[in-house]
Structures are given as structure tokens and as C-alpha cells.
Structure 1
Amino acid sequence: MPQFFLNKRLIVLLVSIIILVALIGFSLRERSELTSQEKFVKDTTGFVQNLVSKPAHFVAGFFQNLEDLQNTYHENKELKTRVEDLVTLEKQVQILEKDNKELRVILDKKQTLRDFKPIQATVIGRNPDRWHEMIIIDKGKTNGIKQNMAVIGSNGSLLGKVKHVNQFSSTIQLLSAMDPKNQISAIIQGKKSAFGLVDGYDKDKRLMVKRIPSDAKIKKGQIVITSGLGGIFPQGLLIGKVVDVKPDQYGLNQTAYVKPGANFYDIENVMVIKRAMRVPEAGDYLDTTKEETP
């Protein structure tokens, strides 16, 4: 008798497995329509999901709106503070400009090393073989462009100088060009400013400011600008920011490595700087103290 029941259970188990496999195969085959049972289950499931999802989305959206409103409030508060600071700064600038004009009148000083007139130009050409050395702009002699004029980028940082001038176009030599003659008189700003010469562009894409006195206190983060004493560039054009300082091989001077303020890779629009003060000529640098021999 026990053997009979054991065989009966085995038969029921096998029949159940066969029916289950048949149902699975039936449900997996491609059909144009679902059965009534499947439709009922899917409709019921969809109704329950819809019933649950709508309140959930409403609650989540409510809290998200509250968070956005809070962020908007803080941003508005910060922007108001910035606007107030900007208004104060504008007033201070106006006062300083007025004082500056009055002092110039008193001292009868009409021009400074900082004065210049910008001429807007667009880059129209660039040699792939000399990508970091030269660019060509759409302004030339007819626009008042002259050789050795300074050129700045859209952010106001120094890019280079005019190398060659044609009638309707000009070639600009970038600061990144490896030219030993491409030297610029610079000031490293600080409590006590230090002078040096921008001379070279290293493999790490940094400008090198050389001939800085060994006793000058140079730190990372100091701003480097043009001195205006080289006779070509006006004073105050941004060159970059100091990222490292090293003594030279003899220990007499220092070299500051400067991250350029300009992007030498992506250049579309530039401004050529026409210096207001007279540009010194070569004869101005000659030593006139020596007596001429008969």
C-alpha cells in the first residue's frame, strides 16, 4: 500500500510539471491577443500601480518644489548681496575716476603708461605647423595697425604682438612662440613689486619670467602684468599668475613660472592695442653720455 501512494504522488508531480511547462510555453509564444485571465491580471496591476504612483509623484513633486523654492530664495538673497556690492563698487570707481581726472588736471598730466586705444580684430588664419606661434587677423595698415603693437584676447590677457603688417591683414606673434627676441618687460605684483622679463615658454605651457633679483620675495598666486617700460606694451596688461619660482643656475637671479591668462589654443577674436604715449625709438636707448671722438 505505501508503495502505491508513493507512485501516485510521483505521477501527480510529473503531471503537474508537464502542465506547468505547457502553460509556460503557451504564455511565451507570440499571440495577437491576451487571454481574459491575463488581461484581468494586467488591468488589475496597472490600476493598482496608477493608484499608488499618482500620490507618490504628487508628494515627491511637492517636496521637490519646496526644495527648489528654498534654493531660489537663497540664490535671490545672494544675488541681492552681490548687486549691492556691485553698486557700491561702481560708486567707488566713479569717485576714483573723478579724483584721477582732477589730479591729472592739477599735475597737467594728460597721458600715462596705461592709456591705450583698442582695435577689434578677428582671427582669419592659423598655420597648423606653427599653431602656438602665429595667427593672422583681418586688420592691417588701413585700420591703423603697426608693427610691435600689443594684442590681447577676449578676456583682456596679453596674447602677443604684431609681427608683420599688410594692407588688410596682420600676423600676430604669440607669447608662446619660441623666439629669443620675444621678450616683455613685466611686473610681479606684491607688497613690493619685482621686475623681470618674460622670456620663453616651457614644455608645461608656462611662461618664464627671468632676471628677477634673488632677494625679491616671489610667491605662488602673484599676478604678473606688463610694466609699460619696454616701449611696446602699455602698462597693466595681464600676463598671468605665478605657479612656481626657482633660482637660476648661478643663484644670482630667479625665474618665475607663470600660467598665462590667455588661451593660446582657442583664439577667435582679439584686440590690437594702440598705445597712447609715444613709443620710444631705438635711438632713445643709446648712451649719449659718452663724448664723441674727433
Structure 2
Amino acid sequence: MNPTTSASLNKKSNLFVKTLFAFIFLFVFIAVLNIFQKQIKNSFYLLSSPVEKTFWRAGDSASVFIASLINAESIEKENEKLKSENQNLLIKIMALQEAERQRGAINEMLANDTQNEFSLVLAGASGFNSSQDIISINKGSADGIFENMPVISQQKVLFGRVLKVYENFSEVEMISSKNNVLNVKVQNSDSSVAPIYGVVRGNGSSGIFLDLVPVDSKINKDDVLVTSALEGIFPRDLLVGRVKETEKNDLKPFQTIKVEPFFNVQEADNLFVITDYKK
């Protein structure tokens, strides 16, 4: 046998042996997999489950997030619609409440003004300047309002007089203004006693006091002050205030009398302007 033929046979033999070993190894590997299939699968699960769970949760979260983004716009539109409907409803309720308050004010004024003494214009209070004791009302020259017209509540409590008039609103100077001087009478149930007159002055900040009452005049706590009409601006017998405290000094000709006003700015929703008062 020549050397070339011998080398060829050796190569074929080596290839056969390698192939045989490969088949044997593959057979053994498959057999092992079949025998230990459950154990291997379990081990793989233990190793891979945390990663799988993370991706699964992330997938759920992403799905929820995407769904929420899709629904967010429609929910926002629905919320805006509900908010708008609630605001419209509140406006209607407020309008009904205001109309009811105005009807109540008119009815109360009619009950108090049994003799129909004056022509009145109902006005709503729209602002208050506390530094100058001025109330703004929503009626002006277009409604027949002029300067110096008296302004009262439905209980015939005097608030003040019209100071400035604009087309659609007016400014009312309250009797508590420091510029105010108002002639009043101290009400007394005893008709045999001579009436006591004085002047109410404003001291700002919704405060008033009674002045020019002689020191020998008898003024009691809780005496009621009403307008006397002597100054020619306000009708008589409008309610002004109640005596709170008196101070006498024999060295002074007049008493110092603190007065609690009847008006209440916080409750001044509806006021009445007397448009036809003539002294």
C-alpha cells in the first residue's frame, strides 16, 4: 500500500470516529434533557421570572398610562363642561336670590311707608369706600338720580345723601362722613317734655356722635335719634341711631354723646333713593 492511500484511510477513519462521538454526545445530551426537563425548566423560571415580571408590570403600566392619556382629554372636556354648567347654575341662583331680596326690601318699605310719602328708586349697593365713608349705588342720572337726594334702607334708616351722580351709578356720602352735619331730634315717649334737638356729626369709619345738646338737657342711654328736617335735605323721622354713652362737663356748654348708628354697611344690599323730597 502506498503512502498516499494510507493517509486517505486514516483521515476517513478519524472523521468517522469524530462523527460517532458527536452522535453519542448528542444522544446523551438529549437523554439528560428529557430526564431533567422539569428541573431545568424550574431553574430557568427562577432565573428569568424577576426579569419577566418587571417587563410584564412595565407593560401593564404602559398600557394604563397610554389609556389614561387617551381618556385624559375627554375627561378634561367633561370636567370643563360640568364646571361651566355649575357656574351658570350659581349665577341663576344668585340672580333669583337677589330678586327675592329686592322683593322683600320693596315689600318691607311699602309696609313701613303706609302713607306713600315719597317716590322711591330701588338701588343696589355696589361698593364701599371706607376711607371716605362713601357707598356706590348702581343707579345714576339715567334713572332720575340727582345730587343731595336722601338714601335710606327699607326700614327707613338713613344712610346719607347722593354726593356725585354719573350716568349709571352714583356715590352716596354716608352720615358718618366727617363732612356730614345732620339735624336730629331725640325721640321721647313723654309728649309733655319739650323735644331735644341736636346735630349729628360723622367722625369717619362708620361712626357718628351727637353734638350741640345743652349740658342741662336730659339724654338717656338708648334714646333714639331721628331726623328733624331742619337742614332741608332729609325728611323728618328717618331713623339715625341710638344713644350709647353720654359725657357731661360743667365747664363746657354742650354734652359729648356717643351714638350707635342704625345703618349697617355690611347688610346694605338694597337701598332706596328718595327722588321727590321737598321741604
TM-score class, shorter-chain normalisation, is: 0.5 to 0.7
Separation in 2 of the partners of 1:249 and 1:145?
46
> 1:144-182: per-residue Cα shift (whole Å, max 9, x none)?
2111111112432111111101122110112222x2x31
Which of 176, 179, 182 is the equivalent residue of 2:180?
182
Once the two structures are superposed, the pairs formed by residues 136-151 of structure 1 within 5 Å of their partners are 136-151=136-151
Which residue number in structure 2 is paired with residue 119 of structure 1? 121
> 1:39-73: per-residue Cα shift (whole Å, max 9, x none)?
xxxxxxxxxxxxxxxxxxxxxxxxxxxxxxxxxxx
Separation in 2 of the partners of 1:223 and 1:256?
12
The secondary structure found in structure 1 opposite 2:119 is strand
- Segments of structure 1 that go 5 or more residues without pairing to the other structure are 1-89, 98-113, 279-294
Cα separation, partners in 2 of 1:116 and 1:228, compared to 1, 3 Å: farther
1:253 aligns with 2:254: yes
Separation in 1 of the partners of 2:131 and 2:151?
17
Cα separation, partners in 2 of 1:131 and 1:266, compared to 1, 3 Å: farther
> 1:56-115: per-residue Cα shift (whole Å, max 9, x none)?
xxxxxxxxxxxxxxxxxxxxxxxxxxxxxxxxxx9xxx9xx7xxxxxxxxxxxxxxxx94
Separation in 2 of the partners of 1:149 and 1:157?
14
Separation in 2 of the partners of 1:137 and 1:202?
20
AA of the residue aligned to 2:213: I
Separation in 1 of the partners of 2:218 and 2:119?
34
Quote how far apart the aligned CAs of 1:258 are. Answer: 1.3
Quote how far apart the aligned CAs of 1:206 are. Answer: 4.2
Which residue number in structure 2 is paired with residue 167 of structure 1? 167
AA of the residue aligned to 1:277: K
Separation in 2 of the partners of 1:135 and 1:123?
7
> 1:189-237: per-residue Cα shift (whole Å, max 9, x none)?
123321111112377x642010012221110111100001111000010
AA of the residue aligned to 1:253: F
Which residue number in structure 2 is paired with residue 134 of structure 1? 134
Which residue number in structure 2 is paired with residue 227 of structure 1? 228
1:213 aligns with 2:176: no
1:243 aligns with 2:244: yes
Which residue number in structure 1 is paired with residue 91 of structure 2? none
The 8 Å contact of residues 164 and 172 in structure 1, kept in 2 or not, is answered as: yes
Separation in 2 of the partners of 1:116 and 1:153?
13
Quote how far apart the aligned CAs of 1:242 are. Answer: 0.9
Cα separation, partners in 2 of 1:276 and 1:159, compared to 1, 3 Å: closer
1:155 aligns with 2:155: yes
Q: Calculate percent identity across the aligned residue pairs.
A: 30
Number of corresponding residues:
164
- Segments of structure 2 that go 5 or more residues without pairing to the other structure are 1-110
Quote how far apart the aligned CAs of 1:250 are. Answer: 4.2
Cα separation, partners in 2 of 1:241 and 1:166, compared to 1, 3 Å: same
More helix by share: 2
**What is the Cα-based RMSD across aligned positions, in Å?**
2.7
Quote how far apart the aligned CAs of 1:131 are. Answer: 6.0
Give me the TM-score of the superposition, normalised by structure 1: 0.50
Separation in 2 of the partners of 1:117 and 1:248?
44
